[in-house]
Chain A
Amino acid sequence: MAKSHKLGLRPYFLRRIRGTATAGRHLPRSGQDYNRKAQIQMFETVAVLVIFFFLIAFGLSFYFLVSKTQASKEYERTLQLRSITFTQKIATLPELDCVRVTVQVERCFDSLKTDAFRHILQNPGIKDDYFALFGYSNVTIQEIFPSVHTYQLYDRALPNASASIPTTIPILLRNPHKNTYSFGVLRVTLYA
């Protein structure tokens, strides 16, 4: 009897479910009690599973978002590398380079060759031959000093291009008649 007083403040139904309402006396539980207990336990389990799967879904969606961001950054990086290698290739083309006594001069274009190359690229067949090299791009050589002149070498735009990457590098433009060097820039725009 003393024990039941100690337990008296606890809600009755909890004590019923947990079987302590009988105050330690071993009395059989009713079927209803078992059902309720089972239902609550099932509810608990299902709730845990729901939250667990919710967390998984949440984590996965974050993972895919991060992957997508990383993939697009990788794509940008690849494009940038492509534009750098493309510009380096143009800067060393045999169709443009300066050669003095069979020695190639770095960062130098022969103005006579440049003009000749510009002219032959106007032939559609030859322009197509160079598509493998130039692709979708715009290549312009601008003479800056002492005189100003522009050689529009190649231009093939990509319809609906998502990106255009311009690169500018200074070059010397050699006049092989006078053996003088003008200051020029090579402007390359790659379309992607």
Chain B
Amino acid sequence: MVASSKSGQLEVPLNWLFILIAGGAILITFFAFIQRQQSASELSIAENLVSDLESIASVAGTAKGTAQQIDFPEEDITIGCTPDCSCLFSIGAISKPFGTNLIYSPNLIRGPNLVLYSIDWNVPFRANNLLILTNSRTRYILITPTLTPPINRLISIIPNMTNLRVAKGPEAQTAKNQRQPEGKIRFIYFSQGQCDDFRGIELDEQDFSCLEVDLEKHTLDFYYRNRAGTILGPDRQTYLSEGDLIGALFTESPDQYRCNSQAEMLRLANLASVYQRRAANVTTSTCGKSYTDAATQFERLATEARKAENASKLLLHYSILSNLSEEFIRLSCKPELF
């Protein structure tokens, strides 16, 4: 009786011990498997989102002059270029290069929506479609004491859904004190020396950027905040036409603007070569005008665009071609110049 009771006492705890060990091993296996699947699933979701974003950007970029707002999950989309022009957009651990899309955007966009606005880049012929990517959380404040015709034109082109607001007159003075509880704010001035004043004002890290535009000299001065909270700038760039000026209004990073400009110039150079050859192959026209001069101008434009050094020379060829085209249209010349 004593022996059997001792065995019974040993059997039960050993049984439970065995159950605990086996059960523990099973649970650990399952938990490890679930953890792994969870991280794989997150990667898969990020990959799908990035692919979808790439497709959306590609298709939106083909439809010029359109603005649309789409729902997007509440994920952080990081968009930017390195100084050597490796331009990527990322969600989580997944990144994809821009490809041939020219995207102008803030550095960080967070859902729940995306605003896509595509515009022509006409120099003076359509050379590309530029895509502006932003969202309703990012505010753009265009500050000007008076509304001149060029500024008015800009405002009339840019759709309301891009969250661009104009502060003019007395409101321009107090616009600097705007605070943003969440999201980003970007100030745009049409005079020099305004963005420097922000150096003394406390703003939340990375929610601020500033741009000074000189409409006469076609220059852009970018001011932005680095991770340490220091305001850097001015980083001076130039713009050729309305399209890239509008792009600059929405781009925080001067590197991103510069890299897009380089891509634009290369495209412009090749396109100008196409037009040059086209003009050179025109043997007869309905209005008697010669296309040789136009072919020469296209060739010079292509050469300057490849160098991408001198914005004023590019602007000169741009305006000569623009005038030539108007003349050809006025005289109803066929084929058209472009």
> Is A in direct contact with B (CB under 8 Å) within the complex?
yes
- Neighbouring A residues of B127 by C-beta, 8 Å: 94
Q: How far is the CB of B318 from chain A (nearest CB, A)?
A: 15
Q: Which of B59, B64, B128, B336 contacts A88 (CB 8 A)?
A: B59
Chain B residues, Cβ within 8 Å of A117: 274
Query: Considering the complex of A and B, which 3 residue pairs feature the smallest CB-CB distances, nearest first?
Result: A176-B335, A116-B277, A85-B58
**Residues of chain B from 272 to 329 with CB closer than 8 A to chain A in the complex:** 273-275, 277-278, 281-282, 284, 325, 329
Spell out B's residues near A (CB within 8 Å).
1, 3-4, 7, 11, 18, 22, 48, 51, 55, 58-59, 61-62, 64, 99-100, 125-129, 266, 270-271, 273-275, 277-278, 281-282, 284, 325, 329, 334-336, 338
Contacts of A101 in B (CB 8 A): 329, 336
**Cβ < 8 Å to B, chain A residues 82-135:** 82, 85, 88-89, 91-92, 94-95, 97, 99-102, 104, 110, 112-113, 115-117, 119-120, 126, 129-130, 132-133
Kindly supply a per-residue 1/0 record for chain A positions 7-38, scoring 1 wherever the CB is within 8 Å of any chain B CB and 0 otherwise. 00000000000000000000011000010001
| CB within 8 Å for A120 and B335 given contacts A85-B59, A89-B62, A89-B100 | no
A34-67 contacts to B, CB under 8 A, are: 34, 38, 45, 49
A95 and B336 contact, Cβ closer than 8 Å, known pairs A85-B59, A88-B62: no
CB atoms of B274 and A95 under 8 A apart: yes
* Chain B residues, Cβ within 8 Å of A81: 51, 55
A contact residues around B271 at 8 Å (CB): 94-95
- What's the dominant secondary structure at chain A's contact region? helix
Closest residue of B by beta carbon distance from A52? B26
The reply to whether A177 and B335 contact each other, CB–CB distance below 8 Å, is: yes
Q: Is the CB of A147 closer than 8 A to any CB of chain B?
A: no
- What residues on A are CB-neighbors of B22 within 8 Å? 49
Chain A residues lying within 8 Å of B100, measured Cβ to Cβ, are: 89, 132-133
**What separation, in Å, do the CA atoms of A101 and B282 have in the docked complex?**
18
Residues of B within 8 Å of A69, CB to CB, are none
Residues of A141-192 whose CB lies within 8 A of B? 176-177, 179
A-B contact pairs, 30 of them (CB 8 A): A49-B22, A81-B51, A81-B55, A85-B58, A89-B58, A89-B61, A92-B62, A92-B129, A94-B126, A95-B270, A99-B338, A101-B329, A101-B336, A102-B329, A104-B126, A112-B281, A113-B274, A113-B275, A115-B281, A116-B275, A116-B278, A116-B281, A117-B274, A119-B277, A126-B270, A126-B273, A176-B334, A176-B336, A177-B282, A177-B335
User: Beyond the given A94-B127, A129-B270, could you list 13 further A-B residue pairs with CB under 8 A, ordered by the A residue number?
Assistant: A34-B7, A49-B22, A85-B58, A88-B62, A94-B128, A99-B125, A101-B329, A110-B278, A116-B281, A117-B274, A120-B270, A130-B270, A177-B334
